[in-house]
Amino acid sequence: MVAIPELNPIDPTLAAVDRALEERAARQPPRPYLGMSEIGHPCARALWYRFHWVAPAQWSAEALKRFDDGHHGEDLMADRLRLVAGITLLTRDSHTGRQWAFADHDGHLRGHLDGIILGLLQASKAWHLWEHKVVNDKKLTELERLKSQVGEKNALRQWDYQYYAQAVAYMRYAGLDRHYLTASSPGGRRTVSCRTNADPAEAGVGIGRARRIIDSHSPPARISNDPDSAIGCRHCEHREVCHFDAAVAVYCRTCRHSSPAENGAWHCARWDKTLSVDEQRQGCHAHLDISSLVPGEEIDADPEGMWVDYEMPDGRVWRNEVAGS
């Protein structure tokens, strides 16, 4: 009998490429600040988890390739915009030679903008903050529909609130009142633009939310109690911790002794020292979980800080103790 060939045989070399991408990403340290591009995320609890490195994301090769599309797409779009006579596009701060960066709340809230642009043919005299996004064709079509339905200046907020929150926050920090978004399909074959005006009140809402997340020593409420909720839980990197009481990652940021400090640093109350980012990642033998990350009620604690007892939901007592004690 003749063997039926596989319809989609696996290429071992390409499979190895995917594994290498995932392994390289896994070696990358977590971001040490809350990003302004995130503050419009629908779930404040997910943002708190990210800020505390509760469960660092494990990105699939497919997702990592999408990120690469975004980086390459930004450079491609910048080159194309500069082809137009009269357009000035600045993507680097002349003082630092790097992307423009904003920082707030002792450096724990940070953002990096793609650029600022002057000379748009539809508004040639106004400087605009420029951001580029790479999205799929379906999402591009939705932006076009919204521009027609609600008007260009109102489209971004309804199209993607997280992008909108980023835009108004960046305008506030940059001191600009115009925003120019370009969005393209992977490879840049199709591009849609959208201009948006500043909204200081909405920027304040997002920034205030970010500050509360940074200052809180416990996670905000869940966006949903359904782990399969389509509004954000089903594919969240924190799903197992949030809904199923999985163990949290052991970093200084998940320890009850540490808290955000000045200049983007963290402070350890146990050792009374400021922690570098490397020290936060490494942790120490005296780690004790933040109580709100333990799925039980704290019932007793050692005055010397060597252990904490919790009554767990099943009635048993669990001791969280310093390693080697």
Chain position carrying tokens 């782990």: 227
Q: Is 166 helix (H, G, I), strand (E, B) or coil?
A: helix
Report the distance separating Cα 211 and Cα 246, nearest Å: 27
Point out the least confidently predicted range of 4-13, 72-81, 128-137.
4-13
What would the pLDDT profile of 3-40 be if each residue is shown by its tens digit? 666 666 889 999 999 999 999 988 888 899 999 999 99
What would the pLDDT profile of 276-298 be if each residue is shown by its tens digit? 999 999 999 999 999 999 999 99
Q: Please compute the mean of the pLDDT values over residues 38-48 and round it to a whole number.
A: 96
Q: Identify which of 286, 317, 314 has the alpha carbon closest to the alpha carbon of residue 299.
A: 317
Asked whether the predicted pLDDT for residue 1 surpasses 60, the reply is no
Structure tokens at 138: 């379906």
Q: What is the pLDDT of residue 25?
A: 86
What φ, ψ does residue 178 adopt, rounded to 5°? Answer: -130, 145
Asked whether the predicted pLDDT for residue 249 surpasses 60, the reply is yes
Asked whether the predicted pLDDT for residue 2 surpasses 70, the reply is no
- Residue of higher predicted confidence among 163 and 304: 163
Report the distance separating Cα 223 and Cα 52, nearest Å: 18
Point out the least confidently predicted range of 67-76, 132-141, 174-183.
67-76
Q: Please compute the mean of the pLDDT values over residues 51-72 and round it to a whole number.
A: 88
What average pLDDT is seen over the chain?
93
Q: What is the pLDDT of residue 3?
A: 60
Q: What is the pLDDT of residue 293?
A: 95
Taking a C-beta distance cutoff of 8 angstroms, is the pair 112, 224 a contact? no
Q: What is the pLDDT of residue 230?
A: 73
Taking a C-beta distance cutoff of 8 angstroms, is the pair 216, 253 a contact? no
Single pTM value for the model: 0.90
Q: Name the β-bridge partners of 112.
A: 101
What φ, ψ does residue 267 adopt, rounded to 5°? Answer: -120, 135
Taking a C-beta distance cutoff of 8 angstroms, is the pair 256, 290 a contact? yes
Q: Please compute the mean of the pLDDT values over residues 192-205 and round it to a whole number.
A: 98
Residue 243, CB half-sphere, CA atoms under 13 Å: how many? 17
List of domains in the chain = 32-215 (3.90.320.10), 250-321 (no CATH)
Q: Please compute the mean of the pLDDT values over residues 142-157 and round it to a whole number.
A: 98
Judge residue 134's burial from the number of C-beta atoms within 10 Å of its C-beta, 0-12 exposed, 13-18 middle, 19 or more buried.
Answer: buried
